[in-house]
Structure 1
C-alpha cells in the first residue's frame, strides 16, 4: 500500500480512537457500580468484569492514539511503523472489543449478517451498559473491516523476513 493510503488510514484510526476514548471515559466517569442496583454478588462481579474490560480498552486505545500521533508527526512518514501500529490496534483494541480476553461479553457472529448488534452479554446488564456498547459497535466494526488487511499482510511480511 502507498504511503498516502496508510497515512490516511492512520489518521482515520486516530479519530476513531479519540471518539472511542471519550465515549468510554465519559461512561466510566459518570457511572458507578453502586447506582446499578445489582441484586447479588454474582451480578456485581460480572459488572466489575465489564468495567475492567472497558478500562483496558481505554488504556490500549490511549497508548495507540499516542503512537499514531507520533508517527503522523514524523517526517518522512514511516510506513512500516504505521503498518505495525495498525496491526497492533487491530489486535489490542478491535479484537479486545469483540472478544475480550476476560470474557466480559462475546460476539454473536450470526448477528452481523442480520444487521443487528453482535455483542451479547452473558447476563442481564443495565441499559446504560447496553447503550454504550451499541454506540461503540458500529465504529469498531468499520475499523475492523478497514484493518483486517493488516492482520494478514503484516503476518505475511513477518513470516517472509524469518
Structure 2
C-alpha cells in the first residue's frame, strides 16, 4: 500500500495498492520503501489467501480478459472513515463479480491491481481445467392469462346464499 498526502483539504492521506507480492509472508504495517520528503511511504498491507472455486470460472475469465488482467484487493478503513492509518486488508480475489459486490456496499475500497504473470498462468490453468460454458436456453413464452376456473365464487355447483358474482337467474328459487 502506498500512502500519499491528500490532494484536497478533506482528506489528509490517499491510499492506493502498489502491487501484489505472491508468497509474501506476514508483516502488516512493515515499511517496504522509506518515507519520502513529500510524506509518501509504501507499507505491507498484509497477507491474504487467494482461493479459486470451480463455480466462479466465468468471473475469473472476466478479470483475465480485462486490459490488463487483474486481481481485486478489498480494503476497509478502521471505523469506516479514511485516516492516516493503514486500511485493513479484507480480501484478495480474482473474481470480478465478487469485487463488484464489495464495491456496491459503499463501505469498502476495491482496487484493481495488475495480475503478476505467475498468478495469471495459475488462474488460466485453473479456468482451462474447470470452466464449463453454460448453454443458452431461450425461454418459451407463456400466456400469463390463465382461464378462470371454479374457485367457489360464482361456481354454480357450490350453494351460496349471498354470491355477488352469481348471475341473477341462478338466485331465483328453483333455479340451480
Greater relative contact order (CA < 8 Å, ≥ 6 in sequence): 1
* Higher-helix-fraction structure: 1
User: Does the TM-score normalized on the shorter chain lie above 0.5?
Assistant: no
Q: TM-score, normalised by structure 2?
A: 0.22
